Structure 1
Amino acid sequence: MQYLAQFDIVVPKWPRGDARIAEFYESTAYVNRLAETHPGFVWRESEEDICLAEKFWGGGVLYTLSVWKDIESLKHFMYNTPHVSFMKRGAEWFRPINQPRVVLWWIAAGHCPSLDEASAKLRHLRMFGPGFEAFDLKHPFAPMSFQ
């Protein structure tokens, strides 16, 4: 069985503690609970390694690394729960990133992806475009069958 790994990065316009982005930071626990109780949710990294993320992507970057049962589960969470209202406000809180900032890939059930792996997948997507190795929601790939 294969599950869907998801990784995305954002760069806040202001530092934590700034009133202009306070609502984002205040909502993260709520949004994380929404994800964790969603029927298609499998796992998420809860102890972010900001130092390693900054090494890969530069200062101030935030990220999400999670695992879902399938693409449909992730899309349902993103677009059919209160999460969508926070996504719509992203331009208020985050700097534009002019290249892919979200990557998806298939993993074996039971595998928890690392930040190193996720960063490599995002770099792969940026270099080669969508393919089975690394893709996005606009260009999804089905899991491979090994039967």
Structure 2
Amino acid sequence: MPHLALYTFSTLKSPLTDPAPLVREFYESGEAVYREIDRHPGYIARAEPAQHVQGVLFDADWGEWGEFVVPAWYDKGRSAETTALAATLSLWSDLRSAFDAIYTGLHRVALNRRYDWFERTGHPGYVFWWVADGAIPTWQDGVSRLEHLQEHGSAPYAFTFHRSFDPSGTPARLEGVGTKSEVR
């Protein structure tokens, strides 16, 4: 059975290594959010570096998740001192599980604070796509899908909660999300 890949990307107002209270707060809340999501029903796996060092994303060893890359619109630093972004890459069993994990618990609390931490860029912040059972998406896959979503909108190749698709490419409506007119 196919799995659902999810890539998220946001540009932070300050670098990850900035000692300011808001950055520390974001970083510390992120660790708690990950612990909670890791236990969520439907969660399968997420990209994690072999060694975790705050601010090091581009030079980290991500194993089978591939080399860390970012969308073309990211125009901030790439060193440990200047990297100002948050990105995740994960696998889920289905759209409902991902929705429930993202819009409940500690992640929901964090979402309510997102504009304290992140810039408003006008770019999509996340994208979904289906992968074959056993396949591991790469960071490049996530970036390609997010950029496709930016340029073309939701399609079976790259979609959102509001305009989602099942593994066969048929429009799918997630109960409680969007309106019927959004599913085409």
Q: C-alpha offsets along residues 88-117 of structure 1, whole Å, 9 cap, x if unaligned?
A: 100011111202121100011111110111
* Aligned 8 A contact 1:5 1:65 in 2: yes
- For residue 82 of structure 1, the aligned residue among 92, 102, 106 is 106
* Aligned 8 A contact 2:7 2:127 in 1: yes
The answer for unaligned runs of 5 or more in structure 1 is none
Q: Could you tell me how far 1:30 is from its partner in structure 2?
A: 1.0
Matched, 1:34 2:51: no
Q: Report the 3-state secondary structure (helix = DSSP H, G, I; strand = E; otherwise coil) of the residue aligned with 1:26.
A: helix
- For residue 58 of structure 1, the aligned residue among 64, 75, 100 is 75
Report the TM-score, using the length of structure 1 for normalisation: 0.90
Evaluate the alpha carbon distance shift between residue 55 and residue 137 of structure 1 in structure 2; reply closer, same or farther with a 3 A threshold.
Answer: closer
Distance, in Å, in 2 between the alignment partners of 1:126 and 1:34 is 30
List structure 1 runs of 4+ shifted beyond 6 angstroms. Answer: none
* Aligned 8 A contact 1:4 1:69 in 2: yes
Greater mean deviation of Cα atoms: 15-24 or 31-40: 15-24
CA RMSD of aligned residues (A): 1.8
Of structures 1 and 2, the one scoring higher in RCO (CA 8 A, sep 6+) is 1
Evaluate the alpha carbon distance shift between residue 110 and residue 25 of structure 1 in structure 2; reply closer, same or farther with a 3 A threshold.
Answer: same
Q: C-alpha offsets along residues 89-146 of structure 1, whole Å, 9 cap, x if unaligned?
A: 000111112021211000111111101111111111111110000001111111118x
Distance, in Å, in 2 between the alignment partners of 1:115 and 1:137 is 20
Q: Could you tell me how far 1:58 is from its partner in structure 2?
A: 3.1
Larger Rg: 2
2:20 corresponding residue in structure 1? 18
Q: C-alpha offsets along residues 6-44 of structure 1, whole Å, 9 cap, x if unaligned?
A: 001111112232222211101122111111111110010
Distance, in Å, in 2 between the alignment partners of 1:55 and 1:143 is 25
User: Equivalent pairs: percent with the same residue?
Assistant: 29
Indicate the structure with greater helix content.
Answer: 1
Q: For 1:60-139, what aligned pairs fall within 5 Å after superposition?
A: 60-139=84-163
The answer for unaligned runs of 5 or more in structure 2 is 59-67, 77-83, 170-184
Report the TM-score, using the length of structure 2 for normalisation: 0.73
* Aligned 8 A contact 1:53 1:62 in 2: no
Q: Report the 3-state secondary structure (helix = DSSP H, G, I; strand = E; otherwise coil) of the residue aligned with 2:165.
A: coil
Evaluate the alpha carbon distance shift between residue 54 and residue 135 of structure 1 in structure 2; reply closer, same or farther with a 3 A threshold.
Answer: closer
Distance, in Å, in 1 between the alignment partners of 2:28 and 2:2 is 33
Q: C-alpha offsets along residues 22-73 of structure 1, whole Å, 9 cap, x if unaligned?
A: 1110112211111111111001001287324357433222201111100000
